[in-house]
Amino acid sequence: TQETFANVKATDAKIGAFLTLNEDAALKQADAIDADGVAADNPLAGIAIGVKDNIVTKGLKTTASSKILANFTPVYDATVVEKLTAAKTITIGKTNMDEFAMGGSTETSAFQTTKNAWDQTKVPGGSSGGSAAAVASGQVPVAFGSDTGGSIRQPASFNGIVGMKPTYGRVSRWGLIAFGSSLDQIGPITRTIKDNATVLSAIAGHDKHDLTSSDKAVPDFAAGLNEGTSVKGMRIGLPKEFLAEGVDDDVRKAILAAADTYRQLGATVDEVSLPHNQYGVAAYYIIASSEASSNLQRFDGIRYGYRAQDVKNLEDVYVKSRSEGFGDEVKRRIMLGTFSLSAGFYDAYFLKAAKVRTVILNDFKAVLKDHDFIMGPVAPTPAFGLGDELMDPITMYMNDVLTIPVNLAGLPGLAVPAGFSNNLPVGMQLIGRPFDEGTLYKAGYAFE
Ligand code: GLN
């Protein structure tokens, strides 16, 4: 643990992954583990963990990278943190992210810029960019991300590591600062598939605090991994929409090469179609923003965090605190969401988007009926340059075209490193049937 902190301090000036370090408490935790001893079959004991800063940690500042929560210290641990702490992992600190997880580059953080672990002129992706950069740069072997529309998978892809967005309901959202509650899932970001599988088994399962968490049995995903031959006889779908216009040549090449690898390993790869994939981004930005506009109402200057000074009345407290506390991207989402939900526009926007969501789910169901999983890129491009897209929200939103439909459908999605383009990593995405993360890990492991 001491070495971990020494290394984080030495490298974080370059990477900027961590917002808050948990040094005193972590060293105490480590001492306690030394004193108590650990079970021989506990692979997680003493493992250093980075926690995205929208996951609450008792006694440790949690900001969601927003000025409005700049001084917020939670009084309880999120369920995922509680579970891993019980497994004797050590929380090293809180990682940078896009403000309230809104963004794809970690540049909407109110506090600092995080750099890609491979090239410090590039973004780390987002919104879990701090977690991904921390893992890829060797600061911690495991970090938590949250994924509402790609925020675990895209930064994992941009940093050449492994990221799992579990099936909706697989992992408790208790203690995750809500963005789009019908889309949000917490998941592990790791260097290897096996590490990822180990952590998911430890954090998954029903939680009485989150009624959307499933009571389905949680397999020992790591034990389920078999080397080499595990994709033999599997049928894989490769949607033609995933390699269409807008996807970089190098990305397309990496995915086609991965398809060949799967064929050599004994799987069949068919071209399939997800005909409504292109409508995912539009539907998502309406649904996620609508849910966000509701979820963010609680930041009113009274209950949490930032409160504006020089106010004349209660209305002023709300308006000024929110105007000063939220950044531009968050305000954009609140306005879009409030508009979409308002009387007179609800049918045309929110309801329409909800219908599109069902159509997208049905596309996936049709393919997954006779395919074990779907493969494709995570993102259309490798990491882009810092500052390149921040001022262009539409371009930024379009980057999510391959990850968002998976959230809309509630399916599991795994990002696995698949190659390089000009020395930047390119990630492959494996998408599975509900609660079948095990097949994705097997397929990722066979490829890895
Ligand atoms: N880039 C998407 C957005 O800005 C996804 C964010 C996420 O998954 N948290 O909404």
Structure tokens at 168: 């909706």
Supply the Cα-derived Rg of the chain in whole angstroms: 21
Q: Domain residues of the chain, as ranges? A: 1-448
Q: Is the dihedral of CA 116, 168, 185, 226 positive or negative?
A: negative
HSE-CB for 442 with a 13 A CA cutoff: 22
Distances (CA, A) of 242 to 33, 67, 283, 359, 378: 47, 37, 18, 17, 9
Which residues are designated catalytic?
52, 127, 151
Neighbours of 233 (CB within 10 A): 10
Structure tokens at 40: 């021989």
**Rounded to an integer, what distance in angstroms lies between the CA atom of residue 259 and that of residue 251?**
12
* For the CA of 102, the nearest atom of ligand 1: 4
Comparing CA positions, the residue from 215, 181, 200 lying closest to residue 83 is: 200
ipTM here: 0.97
Pairing status of strand 373-377 against strand 235-239: parallel
Distances (CA, A) of 167 to 161, 380, 431, 437: 20, 23, 10, 8
Span from the CA of 396 to the centroid of ligand 1 (angstroms): 10
Ligand 1: residues with CB < 6 A are 101-104, 127, 147-151, 179, 288, 400
Give the pLDDT score at 391. Answer: 85
Domain 1-448: CATH superfamily is Amidase signature (AS) domain (3.90.1300.10)
Q: Any idea how long the chain is? A: 448
Residue from 65, 148, 183 whose mutation best tests the ligand 1 pocket (most atoms within 8 A of CB): 148
Structure tokens at 248: 């970089």
Give the pLDDT score at 173. Answer: 98
Give the pLDDT score at 393. Answer: 87
Q: Are the CB atoms for 294 and 261 separated by under 8 Å?
A: no
Structure tokens at 121: 């002129």
Q: Give, for all 448 residues of the chain, the pLDDT tens digit.
A: 999 999 999 999 999 999 999 999 999 999 999 999 888 889 999 999 999 999 999 999 999 999 999 999 999 999 999 999 999 999 999 999 999 999 999 999 999 999 999 999 999 999 999 999 999 999 999 999 999 999 999 999 999 999 999 999 999 999 999 999 999 999 999 999 999 999 999 999 999 999 999 999 999 999 999 765 689 999 999 999 999 989 999 999 999 999 999 999 999 999 999 999 999 999 999 999 999 999 999 999 998 889 999 999 999 999 999 999 999 999 999 999 999 999 999 999 999 999 999 999 999 999 999 999 999 999 999 999 999 988 888 888 889 999 999 999 999 999 999 999 999 999 999 999 999 999 999 999 999 8
HSE-CB for 216 with a 13 A CA cutoff: 18
Give the pLDDT score at 40. Answer: 86
**Rounded to an integer, what distance in angstroms lies between the CA atom of residue 129 and that of residue 111?**
13
Residue from 96, 102, 333, 395 whose mutation best tests the ligand 1 pocket (most atoms within 8 A of CB): 102
**Rounded to an integer, what distance in angstroms lies between the CA atom of residue 104 and that of residue 125?**
5
Pairing status of strand 185-190 against strand 48-52: unpaired
Span from the CA of 28 to the centroid of ligand 1 (angstroms): 35
- Give the predicted TM-score (pTM) of the model: 0.98
Give the pLDDT score at 390. Answer: 86
H-type alpha helices, 37-185: 79-86, 129-136, 153-158
pLDDT in tens, 261-279: 999 999 999 999 999 999 9
* For the CA of 284, the nearest atom of ligand 1: 10
The torsion angles phi and psi of 328, rounded to 5 degrees, stand at -60, -45
Span from the CA of 127 to the centroid of ligand 1 (angstroms): 6
373-406 burial, b at 16+ Cβ within 10 Å, e below that, comes to: bbbbbbbbbbbbebebbbeeeeebbebbbbbbbb
